[in-house]
Structure 1
Amino acid sequence: MPKFSMNWIYMLVLFGLIGMYLLGGDTVGGSTSRKVSYDEFKAYVRKGYASKIVINKDESTLKMYVNPKNIRDVFNQGSDRTGKKPYVTTEFGSVDKVETFVETEKQAGKFKGELNYENKRGNDLFNILLSFGPILLFIFLWLYLMRRMGGGGSGSSGVFNVGKSKAKMYEKGADVNVTFKDVAGQAGAKQEVQEIVDFLKNPKKYTDLGGKIPKGALLVGPPGTGKTLLAKAVAGEAGVPFFSMSGSDFVEMFVGVGASRVRDLFRQAKEKAPCIIFIDEIDAVGRARSKNPAMGGNDERENTLNALLTEMDGFGTNSGVIILAATNRVDMLDSALLRAGRFDRQINVDLPDLNERKEIFKVHLKPVKIDESVDIDMLARQTPGFSGADIANVCNEAALIAARHNKTHVGKQDFLDAVDRIIGGLEKKTKVMTEGERRTIALHEAGHATISWFLEHANPLVKVSIVPRGRALGAAWYMPEERQITTKEEMLDEMCATLGGRAAEELFTGHISTGAMNDLERVTKSAYGMIAYAGMSEKLPNICYYNNNEYNFQKPYSETTAKIMDDEVLSMINEQYDRAKALLLEHKEGHNRLAELLLEREVIFAEDVETIFGKRPWVSRSEEIMEEENKGAHDGSDDNAEPADNGAEPTPSTVADGLTGTKTGEEDIQKA
């Protein structure tokens, strides 16, 4: 529905007045008029119906007002509908003849009223409308179109307001219902933004000690960790105006628009100070300026950034205005934007750890109807490396799965299926495969399971499946430990376990296939990361060739060094491949039994592997937790998680095999 506007009322009144004067029998001033012939007029006067006659000499027309008692005789309706002074109009040829006729009827006693004269040419309003109506209509349409183009009917998106800020302002108690209670985990980040809100509410507490309000705070972290949610909580908690906009809102096709919007945003903020400005995805406008203009720097984007730098900490003052910004690409921001005095604080919003994931699950499980089988601690352990957005997706997907099976409550199995669905993709049990392909896949996945079982630093196995998921033909699930740093021995064990599938194919089928493409991709990335970035090479020890300069189009090492790297990578991968084949030959019988069991059941669990190979020689903390959960009868649940290849937060994925594989998580080496 269109928005209500007084213009519609004005138009209705205007057209109503025009209609009343153009149509016969219009009612003006509460009285009805009717046009009659001159003979009818004379007949009405002779019958004594006339109470007063008014002659207009200029237009040769007259009005005959009807006696109240004769209204029904003339208009065929009562005075309640015609008004108290209805009249008829007619045209005449000569004033003298009218005067003679009226005088004759007076003497005869038929007309006892007054005879008056008027010189006005019709009704003033009607004549004005006829004369100036088209001009007024044109002016009205022109003003209406200009207001639409200038944003009068559509916010500030018009041509004439193109330089105006698109920031949306939230006052206290506005439609932002998110508070700090809705933000689970991120205790450190939440404390820092709470302090900013507290400073605006109670500045004297800090200024008494000589402190100054921080100019800005930059929220930095991977996607989905809650940076924008924290900003929403600030908007909900702050008792001051809150301006929110995206970095892309500054960008426009017109020259100078971005800088103009920056100036307009800070002008509005200064008028409302103290207040908070939030710029989401600031990397869209704050990317590092080119050090080489010849390479074609974007002048418009740089002008916008210069305006932002000046407004944040230029010659003018911004007292009481705090800038919050969010980005997941802080390495691409301009160094001038990150200096103290502009963004005084960088607040890291990292992927949640185990305890934080529990809190996040508690928040997202509030609207979900769960049964007693759901254990939040277990769910938190099954989702290492998941962000807050991923956890919200798990809860929603579990509810959808339960509804698909016509359940009244969401159970543990629904959540585990949801985790598998998000990591590995949708099951494709209808995919047609030959018996030879199924056997190759079973041998491949059994190879992963066997190698990881006998390596000390490999992640504990949870389950193995040869049911196609997404673009993968099979997968192995692991329970990775949340390591803060990763040693060379741990990374080599993971590399060896990843190569176990290709090694099993070569040993037990006599050929290799494209099914290991995903494994080879992950192993190659891991090896290059270890040698080029982590300094874990024998020939290139303690050297990191990582370069964060995006405008440097040359490698930070020579061609000779590149050849050494290639040789070292090839040597490292081949060494682990030979190691995997040796382990498989040592445990050949158990591997074959495992493959046959996979062909029979399609999905096997860690206890099935333990039945074949015996207890794992090395027990990690993750396995101890799994053993506690699996005590008693196995309920067929599919636990999930995946190997962490980097030294920071592990990212869930699967050892997935197919022409392209599935989600593999972050890079094997955390860069810088």
Structure 2
Amino acid sequence: MAQDKNQKNGSKKNPFSIYWIYAILGIGLIAYQYYYSASSKIPLKTVAQFESLAEGGYVENVTIVINKLRADIRLNEDGIGFLKSTDEKQFQNIKKAVKNQNVRGKSSGAYDFELNISDNGNFEKKIEEINAKLKEGGKHQIPYTSETEYDYLSSILGFLLPIVLIFALWMFIMRRMSGGGGGPGGQIFNIGKSRAQVYDNGKSTNVTFKDVAGLQGAKEEIEEIVEFLKNPKKYTELGAKIPKGALLVGPPGTGKTLLAKAVAGEAKVPFFSLSGSDFVEMFVGVGASRVRDLFKQAKEKSPSIIFIDEIDAIGRARGKNGGFSSNDERENTLNQLLTEMDGFGTNSGVIILAATNRADILDKALMRAGRFDRQIYVDMPDINERKEIFQVHLKPLKLSKDIDIDFLAKQTPGFSGADIANICNEAALIAARKDKKEVEKQDFLDAVDRIIGGLEKKNKIITKDEKRAIAFHEAGHATISWLLEYAHPLVKVTIVPRGQSLGAAWYLPEERSITTTEQILDDMCSALGGRAAEQLIFGRISTGALSDLEKVTKQAYAMVSIYGLNERIGNISYYDSQGRESFQKPYSDDTARVIDEEVSKLIESQYQRALQILSDNKEQLTQLAEKLLSSEVIFKEDLEEIFGKRPWDREHVQEDLRKVEIPEELKQELEEEKNEIPFNTPDQPETPEENNPSDEEKRE
């Protein structure tokens, strides 16, 4: 407990900062300057007042300050009495100044006054005239001198203060631009230092390989790197060398960064973690300097691992950055990174991990063997991997007994690990919103609907005609997808507005490795079923098919110009995986015209096909739309009542095969053939005991 308290107390931020010292010094200098620069002399109002004092013999001496246009005048006590008789208000100011400010120059009954003058020469002539009058009257003449006054402190502060302010402003801007004051690289003088987060001396991410579900192939290769660092002798005895780098490539949310966190948690070596954008700065040379410093630290602590997340920020292919500068800072950083990874100098004991979802734009020199020896593709999880991911994310949830993980895995094809984590969290939020004690199956289904389609908008104003059009539109999609062999099987159809859509249909796509022409055509026909239903029933079309047309157009252009699935274009693909033809088409204008014609012909043929299918099943289409209008949501079972079971449904076929009755004669023939197959013949001689291997020999 005491240790916990100390940790808590140690984690509190110290309220004292060195900047308070700077502030106190600044305030002290300003107060000192104000106190000593403030005049301790009592001001006289006018030159005429001075003349009356001088002619009366009340002035002891005068000092003319040349550079200040000021005259310092010393009066005797008789002069103070004279001022009292002539100006009571000024006399009160004198008393107050003497009492509160301890007027400087108060000695032997004399007081200092000051008078602002406009011209030093004229004032001297005025004193000469007064002295001439005093001489004629036999009175004491006024001695006067001239001097130049120097205020060294004010001069120094006046010179240094603007410089200090400019420097402070510059420091503030640089700190903000360089990512704040915390950690290396935060201060302006450390801007060229690495900003990597170091996991060393027992510090880890608390994530292990047990927390990474699925990703078996990727996890095995990463585990091998960690195992080499833990037990290098196992590999070096055979002459093997550990890969210098491993690049994790895959779509967003598949677990690339999670794998790196697991490495940081499992590896017993220093782990440096940073992002590709941490190298990029507005100052020239900072990125290359940070790369040098990063590898310097890693070599000092070798063996070690460096993880660079989103490496495409600095690893983009050189000469393709979109800018027109010949001295691009990103290219300088990349060049330094290439040199550090496998340059003239040695770089033993440092392993590089990197992650990106844009491997196609990385520089080829970065991808070669010797730098990133392994490219580990982290793909979307299949059904078994999704099941494992669900098991990880369902652990902290309080689940009801009806939760079937296999069912959840089947309902989420194409979902990444991040999507599955979001579904689990969203289901828990939905259950809490409904004041449930446990998370139920329906909560997960609602979470899937929420993530795919968006939030329900039950209060959206829709007219009856619009609602009827939406119902037939969605019924058209459902009808064609049910009647076509290669279309994705339907799960649910709704006309409740969600997100930006007024209606939606949920499908359960098959997990395919390759896609045939027939499958794409059936998918296109199903997507055009909504607009075809509107044309067939109402004789007019609406803008509700925008997303369907966008999807179909992309599929058609992909078939013609990318996949080579068009007879007229032939077995040609104009796809540029490297992005080198971004500013021009890789084909002529005549070919572009042919592609446009074939795409239009392809889409129109599927639209006519959709119209024909719906015309042949118009009665069932109307029945389905009316049921959708009444209940707003229909499921797979509702379509089975109207259309019957799909003849090519795998589950349906397997179920029908189990119901097939095998004739008795065929059963007897199969049984006889089974009995004729020799498994262990009794006539076979037993193996001699001395020829049987012993248990010890088996183990060897």
Give your verdict on TM over 0.5.
yes
Query: How far apart in 1 are the matches of 2:392 and 2:560?
Result: 42
Query: How far apart in 2 are the matches of 1:540 and 1:456?
Result: 27
2:288 maps to which of 230, 248, 259? 259
Structure of higher RCO (CA pairs closer than 8 Å, 6+ residues apart): 1
Contact 1:173 1:236 in 2 (8 A): no
1:456 maps to which of 478, 485, 488? 485
1:483 is matched with 512
Contact 2:303 2:349 in 1 (8 A): yes
1:248 Cα shift? 0.1
2:272 is matched with 243
Contact 2:645 2:652 in 1 (8 A): no
1:217 maps to which of 235, 246, 249? 246
What does 1:112-511 correspond to in 2, within 5 Å?
A: 154-155=182-183, 156-290=185-319, 295-296=324-325, 299-511=328-540
Query: How far apart in 1 are the matches of 2:641 and 2:287?
Result: 66
Partner amino acid for 1:299?
D
1:292 Cα shift? 10
Larger Rg: 2
Query: How far apart in 2 are the matches of 1:7 and 1:423?
Result: 53
Contact 2:200 2:269 in 1 (8 A): yes
1:562 Cα shift? 0.7
Q: Deviations over 1:31-90 (max 9, x none)?
A: xxxxxxxxxxxxxxxxxxxxxxxxxxxxxxxxxxxxxxxxxxxxxxxxxxxxxxxxxxxx
1:452 Cα shift? 1.1
Contact 1:361 1:376 in 2 (8 A): yes
Structure 1 counterpart SS, 2:190? coil
Partner amino acid for 2:557?
Y
Say if 1:388 and 1:623 are closer, same or farther in 2 by CA, change over 3 A.
Answer: farther
Say if 1:527 and 1:624 are closer, same or farther in 2 by CA, change over 3 A.
Answer: farther
Partner amino acid for 1:523?
V
Query: Residue 595 in 1 paired to residue 625 in 2?
Result: yes
1:10 Cα shift? 9.8
2:573 maps to which of 530, 537, 544? 544
Scaled by the length of structure 2, the TM-score of the pair is 0.69
Partner amino acid for 1:420?
D
Query: How far apart in 1 are the matches of 2:536 and 2:21?
Result: 88
1:618 is matched with 648
1:459 Cα shift? 1.0
Contact 1:309 1:336 in 2 (8 A): yes
Query: How far apart in 1 are the matches of 2:285 and 2:651?
Result: 59
1:615 Cα shift? 2.0
Say if 1:292 and 1:403 are closer, same or farther in 2 by CA, change over 3 A.
Answer: closer
Query: How far apart in 1 are the matches of 2:322 and 2:458?
Result: 56
Query: How far apart in 2 are the matches of 1:451 and 1:209?
Result: 61
Say if 1:287 and 1:495 are closer, same or farther in 2 by CA, change over 3 A.
Answer: same
Contact 2:360 2:578 in 1 (8 A): no
Query: How far apart in 1 are the matches of 2:539 and 2:256?
Result: 52
Contact 1:168 1:244 in 2 (8 A): yes
Query: How far apart in 1 are the matches of 2:320 and 2:21?
Result: 59
2:140 is matched with none
Contact 1:479 1:622 in 2 (8 A): no
Query: How far apart in 2 are the matches of 1:280 and 1:258?
Result: 15
Query: How far apart in 2 are the matches of 1:227 and 1:505?
Result: 45
Structure 2 counterpart SS, 1:516? helix
Partner amino acid for 1:427?
E
Gaps of 5+ in 1: 15-133, 629-672
Query: How far apart in 2 are the matches of 1:237 and 1:621?
Result: 43
Scaled by the length of structure 1, the TM-score of the pair is 0.71
1:623 Cα shift? 9.1
Partner amino acid for 1:522?
K
1:3 Cα shift? 3.0
1:364 Cα shift? 0.5
1:550 Cα shift? 2.8
Structure 2 counterpart SS, 1:539? coil
Contact 2:471 2:625 in 1 (8 A): yes
1:478 Cα shift? 1.0
Structure 1 counterpart SS, 2:289? helix
Partner amino acid for 1:424?
G
1:554 is matched with 584
Query: Residue 574 in 1 paired to residue 604 in 2?
Result: yes
Partner amino acid for 2:618?
K
Identify which range, 291-300 or 228-237, moves more after superposition. Answer: 291-300
Say if 1:457 and 1:292 are closer, same or farther in 2 by CA, change over 3 A.
Answer: closer
1:548 Cα shift? 2.7
Partner amino acid for 1:356?
E
Query: How far apart in 1 are the matches of 2:462 and 2:364?
Result: 55
Contact 1:480 1:622 in 2 (8 A): no
2:696 is matched with none
Structure 2 counterpart SS, 1:464? strand
Query: How far apart in 2 are the matches of 1:308 and 1:249?
Result: 13
Partner amino acid for 2:494?
S
Query: How far apart in 2 are the matches of 1:209 and 1:408?
Result: 58
Query: How far apart in 2 are the matches of 1:258 and 1:622?
Result: 61
Structure 2 counterpart SS, 1:445? helix
Structure 2 counterpart SS, 1:346? strand
Query: Residue 564 in 1 paired to residue 594 in 2?
Result: yes
Structure 1 counterpart SS, 2:247? strand
1:513 maps to which of 531, 539, 542? 542
Contact 1:402 1:411 in 2 (8 A): yes
1:620 Cα shift? 3.1
1:610 Cα shift? 1.3
Query: How far apart in 2 are the matches of 1:475 and 1:411?
Result: 23
Query: How far apart in 2 are the matches of 1:175 and 1:342?
Result: 26
1:554 Cα shift? 1.6
Say if 1:310 and 1:622 are closer, same or farther in 2 by CA, change over 3 A.
Answer: farther
Partner amino acid for 2:307?
F
Query: How far apart in 1 are the matches of 2:438 and 2:471?
Result: 35
1:223 Cα shift? 0.2
Q: Deviations over 1:591-643 (max 9, x none)?
A: 01111111100001111111112222321359979xx9xxxxxxxxxxxxxxx
Say if 1:294 and 1:239 are closer, same or farther in 2 by CA, change over 3 A.
Answer: closer
Query: How far apart in 2 are the matches of 1:484 and 1:293?
Result: 35
Structure 1 counterpart SS, 2:273? strand
2:14 is matched with 3
Contact 2:309 2:356 in 1 (8 A): yes
Structure 2 counterpart SS, 1:160? helix
Partner amino acid for 2:354?
A
